[in-house]
Structure 1
């Protein structure tokens, strides 16, 4: 696998993950269900993965970038598994509406598992680490530019949303309104 192919695959991964976060954000607004603290932590895990993908796109694939992705995915998977375990007890209400038969936290765990497996596979191709160099935005391919912009927009949106929901305080365990609009 060449360095350029690796950058393109990382760009596709960043776009796909941005769409996942965008859909979660859209569902939150459309269904008027605020993200719980565990949901927000899962988003932090996704954003950490996006950071590693973005570094691979801009600076070229490096083990440290893949390590950041794995760390973010492991954090997110642990939080998602914690949330799944809270809701599998009979009589315990679920949080949010199901999507394709499963709740978002279950989908998040599956997505993090796929990210961990995919990252482990990508790390194995040593040819991608040769001739690694920084590529400025103006010299990026079209798909890489889309990925960079999508990552920046979805990260900023989630940061603003988390601040609007929690403010500078600890997020409530069962949020019912935005802190900023009270």
Structure 2
């Protein structure tokens, strides 16, 4: 009777821990997918991002670094409550700072009213979607912190083979978007100290040609 009553909470804890780790994966991939959507506008529709847009991408990547720390830590050994809290703390702080950038850009095009910068998706410009994304990111991070004791991945032994394989994939996707975003910034700015507020092309290619 005792073994049955102790096994049930253990199974429940193991399931909640794995769900917490899967959510960390989903957060990282979700942030990368958001930047991927911005790439569609940049490389598919030739709508060049302004410096504030690039700054918002940077804070999305920084926000994704927090849960990525949890994912990377779970591959090497136990994840403590401190590790879990630090990871989601980084995610929340980065998202809060990013929301100030996107919020400022939204206000720039509201007062005074103007058509806004670049194209729109479902009637909203990308910086508005960025503000929504950052708001949801803060909410997600706060919920994970509130559920830290039941959602954290406690031990590497609790992670399934699928989770261990997914960890490598998730971290590789984050690295890809971090490097590609850095290259995109370099192509837009070239060897100049400042980037135009309303870029019309890739300054690096203009300088070389």
TM-score above 0.5: yes
Task: Tell whether 2:28 aligns with 1:4.
Answer: no
Separation (CA, whole Å) in 2 of partners of 1:14 and 1:121: 16
Structure 2: tracts of 5 or more residues without a match:
1-12, 75-82
Task: Tell whether 2:181 aligns with 1:158.
Answer: yes
The answer on whether the counterparts of 2:47 and 2:119 sit within 8 Å (CA) in structure 1 is no
Q: Normalized against structure 1, the TM-score is what?
A: 0.89
Q: Which residue of 1 aligns with 2:202?
A: 178
**Mapping 1:73-84, distance limit 5 Å:** 73-84=95-106
The answer on whether the counterparts of 1:164 and 1:179 sit within 8 Å (CA) in structure 2 is yes
Instruction: Give the superposition deviation at 1:127.
Output: 3.1
The answer on whether the counterparts of 2:18 and 2:153 sit within 8 Å (CA) in structure 1 is no
List structure 1 runs of 4+ shifted beyond 2 angstroms.
1-5, 89-93, 127-133, 138-146
Q: Which residue of 1 aligns with 2:126?
A: 104
Q: Which residue of 2 aligns with 1:18?
A: 32
**Mapping 1:1-182, distance limit 5 Å:** 2-60=16-74, 62-125=84-147, 126-129=149-152, 131=154, 140-168=163-191, 169-182=193-206
The answer on whether the counterparts of 2:20 and 2:152 sit within 8 Å (CA) in structure 1 is no
**Count of residues in correspondence between the two structures:** 180
The answer on whether the counterparts of 1:164 and 1:181 sit within 8 Å (CA) in structure 2 is yes
Per-residue CA distance 1:81-119 (angstroms, 9 max, x = gap): 000000113552311111011000000000100000010
Q: Normalized against structure 2, the TM-score is what?
A: 0.78
Separation (CA, whole Å) in 1 of partners of 2:138 and 2:113: 32
Structure 1: tracts of 5 or more residues without a match:
none
The answer on whether the counterparts of 1:8 and 1:143 sit within 8 Å (CA) in structure 2 is no
CA gap 1:147/1:82 in 2 versus in 1, 3 angstroms: same
Separation (CA, whole Å) in 2 of partners of 1:158 and 1:18: 11
